[in-house]
């Protein structure tokens, strides 16, 4: 088993493809013939998801959908948790909707994803800052 901490550079609000960054941060992945990788983002205002990796339109459409599903309006008084700004509570809800972890297969020393699948960082705040992830890989070596 291998466990690695990964720090992602700050990104603006949106859905960002990070598959290559994750793979580049895991040189020990090559040791595993078959196994699993668990990836946890250690924040509650950003999240992870797995989806289409080719068209940037998909990432833009995800942002449009989630921003309309969980609106951020300073005049909207349904949010009582506002200490960190008007985007904080909507970001927590968006994170819960998309999820904070992924468990992915490993085969022949690499992530075994579908042809059109990629890992997204879902940044739900305007200025979320660097994001910390824990990657744990286990399996047959």
Q: Please report where in the chains the tokens 């068209």 appear, as a residue.
A: 55
Q: What is the 3-state secondary structure (H, E, C) of the chain?
A: CEEEEEEECCCCCEEEECHHHHHHCCHHHHHCCEEEEEEEECCCCEEEEEEECCCHHHHHHHHHHHHHHCCCCCCCCCCCCCCCCCCHHHHHHHHHHHCCEEEEEEECCEECCCCCEEEEEEECCCCCCCEEEEEEEEEEC
Q: pLDDT band for position 84 (50/70/90)?
A: confident
Q: Please report where in the chains the tokens 């490993």 appear, as a residue.
A: 106
pLDDT of 73 reads 77
Tell me the mean pLDDT in the region 72-94.
85
Q: Hey, which residues does 40 pair with through a beta bridge?
A: 101, 134
Dihedral of the CA atoms 91, 94, 96, 97 (nearest 10)? 180
Provide, rounded to the nearest whole percent, the portion of the chain with pLDDT above 90: 84
Tell me the mean pLDDT in the region 97-112.
97
Query: Mean pLDDT, the chain, as a whole number?
Result: 94
Q: Domains plus CATH for the chain?
A: 2-140 (2.60.120.460)
CA distance 118 to 39: 13
CB of 103 closer than 8 Å to CB of 37? yes
Kindly report, residue by residue over 52-72, the tens digit of the pLDDT: 999 999 999 999 999 999 988
pLDDT of 47 reads 98
């Amino acid at each position: 088993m291998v466990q690695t901490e990964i720090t992602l550079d700050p990104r603006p609000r949106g859905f960002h493809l990070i598959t290559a960054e994750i793979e580049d941060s895991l040189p020990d992945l090559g040791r595993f013939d078959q196994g699993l990788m668990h990836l946890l983002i250690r924040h509650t205002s950003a999240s992870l998801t797995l989806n289409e990796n080719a068209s940037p339109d998909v990432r833009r459409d995800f942002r449009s959908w989630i921003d309309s599903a969980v609106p951020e309006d300073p005049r909207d008084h349904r949010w009582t948790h506002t200490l960190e700004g008007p985007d904080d509570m909507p970001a927590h809800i968006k994170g819960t909707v998309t999820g904070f972890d992924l468990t992915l297969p490993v085969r022949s020393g690499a992530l075994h994803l579908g042809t059109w699948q990629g890992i997204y960082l879902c940044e739900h705040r305007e200025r979320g800052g660097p994001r910390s992830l824990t990657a744990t890989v286990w399996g047959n070596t």
